[in-house]
Amino acid sequence: MKDTNLAESVDTMVRQKILARNVSVHYGETYAIKDVSVDIVANAVTAFIGPSGCGKSTFLRCLNRMNDTIDTCRVTGDIRIDGEDIYDRKVDPVQLRAKVGMVFQKPNPFPKSIFDNVAYGPKIHGLARNKAEMDNIVEDALKKAALWNEVKDRLHTPGTGLSGGQQQRLCIARAIATAPEVLLMDEPCSALDPIATAQIEELIQELRQSYCVVIVTHSMQQAARISQKTAFFHMGSLVEFGETDRIFTTPADPRTESYITGRIG
């Protein structure tokens, strides 16, 4: 753990965006994650990796309180964004989610037109003053999500009529259209071909300049390519967290090593 500390001391200049301490999540009686503590920095990409069912999505959903919608779900611990406890009574989850956007593991476009899908967030948050501004926001978001060329001629056809990969990019466009400060992406490239994947990765690199991006991925190469920090989850616990380069070259925990070399998972 020595070099983690070293790395962190080098990074003292970077701003901590999200601070999670001893976060545990229970679904009813069974726990999904246990005592997870991570620091997520602004202007960087943090990747969550780990075998299926280890609690990556669950932890991600804690960060914008989407777990509130699950009756049986109970979250304990402390999560702070910009130093503010997001589970504080005074916090309105609606306001929080405008600040912390999310792309879900399964594409879930609204059963509305492509345009309306992207325009919905900006509309309810009043980000556009007129039609022209809205058009710009939508076009910009769709271009960033590498979808514009495919849909520019059919913006008013249903978003649910797109292919799986296109729907996923539509959801990405929808999430970035509201200009969140933090973007949570749950396997955003799982249904994409290499070209679209490359475009999304490019987008993530671009977003990193101004946002804080957290991405869950099952692709080690992707995590290595795009992230600055990597967290490895296993059976509901955070096994290892640190600089991506270090995790992939000299993992401290044997479980991390087995996972990234493909022996468990």
Partner 1 sequence: MTDVLNSLLVQDDRTRRRNAAEVRFHAYGLGAIGVAVLALVLLLTSVVSSGIGAFRQTYITLEIPLPEEKLDKSGRRDSAVMARVTTFGYAPLLRDALLATMAQKGLTTTLSDTDIAGIISKEAAATMRDHVLANPDLIGSTVTLDVLAEGRIDGYFKGRVTMESAELDGRTSPEALRIVQLLADVGVIETRFNWRFLTAPDASDQRPEAAGLGVAIFGSLYMMLVVLVLALPIGVATSIYLEEFAPRNRLSDLIEVNISNLAAVPSIVFGILGLAIFINFAGLRQSSPLVGGLVLTLMTLPTIIISTRAALKSVPPSIRDAALAVGASKMQSVFHHVLPPAAPGILTGTIIGLAQALGETAPLLLIGMVAFVRDYPAAFTAEAGLFGEAATALPVQVFNWTQRADPGFAERASGAIIMLLVFLLAMNTVAILLRRRFERRW
Ligand X SMILES: Nc1ncnc2c1ncn2[C@@H]1O[C@H](COP(=O)(O)OP(=O)(O)OP(=O)(O)O)[C@@H](O)[C@H]1O
Which of 46, 57, 166, 256 is in the footprint of Mg ion by CB under 5 A?
Answer: 57
State the Cα angle at 185 between 42 and 68, rounded to 5°: 95
Which residue has its beta carbon closest to ligand X? 57
Residue 24 is inside which H or E element, if any? strand 16-27
Which of 2, 29, 90, 94 is in the footprint of partner 1 by CB under 8 A?
Answer: 94
Shortest Cβ 53–ligand X spacing (Å): 4
Which residue matches tokens 């009686």?
Answer: 29
The helix/strand count (H/E) of the chain reads as 11, 10
Q: Which of ligand X, Mg ion, partner 1, none has residue 58 at its interface (CB below 5 to 8 Å by kind)?
A: ligand X
- x/- contact string, 87-126, with ligand X (CB under 6 A)? ------------------x---------------------
Q: Please report whether residue 70 would count as binding ligand X according to CB under 6 A.
A: yes
Positive or negative: CA dihedral 103, 104, 106, 107:
negative
The residue among 27 and 198 lying less far from partner 1, judged by its C-beta, is: 27
Pick out residues in 89-118 that bind Mg ion (CB under 5 A). 105
Shortest Cβ 115–partner 1 spacing (Å): 12
Torsions phi, psi for 109 (to 5 deg): -65, 155
**Strands, E, within 69-218: which ranges?**
73-81, 84-85, 100-103, 182-186, 212-216
Shortest Cβ 62–ligand X spacing (Å): 10
Whole-angstrom distance, CA of residue 134 vs CA of residue 115: 10
* Site of interaction with Mg ion (CB under 5 A): 57, 105
